[in-house]
Structure 1
Amino acid sequence: MDTIYEVLEEIDSSSQRAMLATIIHVEGSAYRKEGTSMLVKGDGAQIGVLSAGCLEEDILARKDSVLARGSTKIVYDMRNSDEISWGEGSGCNGKIEILLEPLDDIFLKQLKMLGSQLAKGKEVLMGKKIDVEEQRAECFFLTDDDVVFGDWVIDRHIDSLKELRDKASKEGLKSGKQLSLDPLTEVYFQYFQPKPRLFIFGAGPDAVPLASFADQSGFTVTVADWRPALCTKERFPEAVNLMTGFPEDLLQQITFTPKDSVILMTHNFHKDKEILSHVKDKPLRYLGVLGSQSRTSRLLEKKDVPSFIHSPIGLDIGAEGPEQIALSVAAELVKVVKKTPGHEKVST
């Protein structure tokens, strides 16, 4: 999923000078879309990618200049296929505009604040006013509970920006540029959301690869089970939270949101039934039950399984064994999250 989470984790733990490269506009097709970021550290190490490998070397070569002089914008036209163009051999057939920014003290503080807000479960609208001639970009950040931070004063625009933020949250618009705030200023908007949460009930052998794939796919993973010997950090190193206890106790500790996903895989009929009875009426983004649809219908004590319950779980790829099944489930999770309104970033 979004590289921004990896970038924020890296800058929170590293003291190196670095450059942030962000795709701010795409025409035609491209490997990555608006809002994708890549961090280039002072030693040349990269976090994330912006292309299939055709742009990174050139971006890396610009690092020292950006760190010394300030922000700049570059355009890669991949639409041509002659020998001197960026389009040679890439097959992307798109025009990509990328903003390169040094992580100075001001921007670094802003990004750390962004990371802190996302970690609290907040959604954040960012606006970036780009001044190429001055080689700088001013930013504001507006959270879903109206906290404002950044170095761009937006007092006279606050009402319209709140409307834009709310529209982004509800409709799942993509990131992009717009000029409506000031006709003379280019403004780039991006909408950030916390990592989607996945709750896995059951810590059996098949939950281990699922937790790993889900973590790699951009989910914050919680594993819950009544057996302490199974629900351990050694078995689930990627899980952010491990919860042990019986369902009636665990479910009282969790407040689910409409953007959460839940998977039942305890392999215990009565515990699955107890959990399902609690979560089936919650407005979850994804609810999946391991096993056949006939088993799920028995859990519900209904003949037909409602369409919002995924059962059996996972995309139909002919999966066999824990790893393949976990892969199919992780793919289905990504598919559902990507298509759910509110996931994608903002466009104007």
Structure 2
Amino acid sequence: MRDLAPTLLSWDRFAVASVVAVRGSAPRPAGAAMAVGPSGEVIGSVSGGCVEAEVYDLARTVLETSRPALATFGCSDDTAFSAGLTCGGSLDVLVQRDSPPLRAALRAALDGHPLSVRFAAEGRVFTESWLPPPRLLVFGAIDHAAAVAEIGRFLGYRVTVCDARPIFATPARFPAAHEVVVDWPHRYLASTHTDESTAVVVLTHDPKFDIPVLTEALSRPLAFVGALGSRRTHAERLSRLRAAGVPPAELTRLRSPVGLDLGGRSPSETAVSIAAELVATRCGGTGLPLFSLSTPVHRPLESHGTDLPQRRRHEGRPAARPVAGHADGVPGAQCGEVPVLLGAGQVPRDARVGLGRGGG
């Protein structure tokens, strides 16, 4: 839902449908959301197209009646095939109207505040928590950086582009970046907050920039450290990093040359390659074509390669601020008990939904 916040806040009224439970295989995980606006316009998705029409109709009804609804779609349902959910799983969808507390929560989320929102429907209470988006730090104000910033923002990162050269590091050259910083890369990295979800991509191609910033990056518990360059450049870079005193164990974390082997050459194609490696690293993917594998297409997030470290990072984050959800008197305090999401393991990094105890 947080991803839809800018549009939701621009509408004078809306109904939003959120996936609150997933069992078996489904196209979208818990936390996926779709919203319907005042004139029937729609944004977002709860199933990748499978049950959108039925959820849309339900959302229109909730928009008119202001009564929240909880519906289940799945193969055990006689109407599942006609609804289009043919992937073998089932999902529960909570649909609710907008409310002042919900709007306040969406505004706080856009400002980067961690928070927890409670919703109630049919005697059940659900909690959805939003953490600030992960950071992507791109060092080197070159054409490749503009493309990496654009695709990084598309993937949900908060993107910073940093370069010591003010003539190149300008907001006009990197419109997709959330911020453009003029500073020496290593000095900026040493002074900025990072955590185990932060990704660093170094594109500078210059040892006087590369070595200091990579030395700093590899000393931190980051999710991803990558550097652009040829294999010869990589070999020289490793030699310089060893001379700078970087331990062998830290050198093994460096992804260089960065990106998956897609065969592209242009800045945009290179950015796709880098983004593919970011996703594969975060989600524990193989990087192989799906048709060559026999494993499930949608793997449980519990098995993702870097998800558990990312969950552990929550211990160092500020506590989520409790915010009341639907305007039906549900208290703002966080649920007394929020177990693992219904539909075991289907918990996306930035949206956790759980069944809590009613009554606060």
**1:98-177 aligned within 5 A:** 98-116=93-111, 119-120=112-113, 122=114, 124-128=115-119, 130-132=120-122
Report SS of the residue matched to 1:74.
strand
Q: 1:116-135: per-residue Cα shift (whole Å, max 9, x none)? A: 4xx14x3x34443x332xxx
After superposition, the Cα gap between the structure-2 partners of 1:237 and 1:288, relative to the gap in structure 1 and judged at 3 Å, is same
Q: CA RMSD in A?
A: 2.5
Q: Quick one: which of 219, 231, 235 aligns to 1:294?
A: 235
User: Quick one: distance in 1 between partners of 2:54 and 2:86?
Assistant: 18
Q: 1:287-309: per-residue Cα shift (whole Å, max 9, x none)? A: 11112331331231369672221
User: Quick one: distance in 2 between partners of 1:209 and 1:225?
Assistant: 16
User: Quick one: distance in 2 between partners of 1:56 and 1:89?
Assistant: 9
Structure 1 unmatched runs, 5+: 133-184
Q: 1:169-207: per-residue Cα shift (whole Å, max 9, x none)? A: xxxxxxxxxxxxxxxx53333332211100000011111
After superposition, the Cα gap between the structure-2 partners of 1:324 and 1:295, relative to the gap in structure 1 and judged at 3 Å, is farther
User: Quick one: distance in 2 between partners of 1:89 and 1:44?
Assistant: 21
Match of 2:74 in 1: 77
Higher relative contact order (CA 8 A, sep 6+): 2
Report SS of the residue matched to 1:99.
strand
Match of 2:178 in 1: 240
Give the letter for the 2:7 counterpart.
E
Matched, 1:16 2:6: no
Match of 2:264 in 1: 319
Report SS of the residue matched to 2:264.
coil
TM (norm. structure 1) is 0.74
**1:1-348 aligned within 5 A:** 4-12=1-9, 14-69=10-65, 70-78=67-75, 85-86=80-81, 90-116=85-111, 119-120=112-113, 122=114, 124-128=115-119, 130-132=120-122, 186-247=124-185, 249-291=187-229, 292=231, 293-301=234-242, 306-338=251-283, 339=304, 340=306, 341=308, 342=311, 343=349, 345-346=351-352
Deviation at 1:251, TM superposition (A): 3.6
Structure 2 unmatched runs, 5+: 284-303, 312-348, 356-360
Identical residues among aligned pairs (%): 27
After superposition, the Cα gap between the structure-2 partners of 1:77 and 1:268, relative to the gap in structure 1 and judged at 3 Å, is same
Deviation at 1:284, TM superposition (A): 1.1
After superposition, the Cα gap between the structure-2 partners of 1:19 and 1:299, relative to the gap in structure 1 and judged at 3 Å, is farther
Of 247-256 and 259-268, the range deviating more from structure 2:
247-256
After superposition, the Cα gap between the structure-2 partners of 1:247 and 1:54, relative to the gap in structure 1 and judged at 3 Å, is closer
| Contact 2:5-2:106 within 8 A present in 1 as well | yes
Q: 1:285-339: per-residue Cα shift (whole Å, max 9, x none)? A: 1111112331331231369672221112112333333222210111111222333
User: Quick one: distance in 2 between partners of 1:131 and 1:100?
Assistant: 9
After superposition, the Cα gap between the structure-2 partners of 1:17 and 1:261, relative to the gap in structure 1 and judged at 3 Å, is same
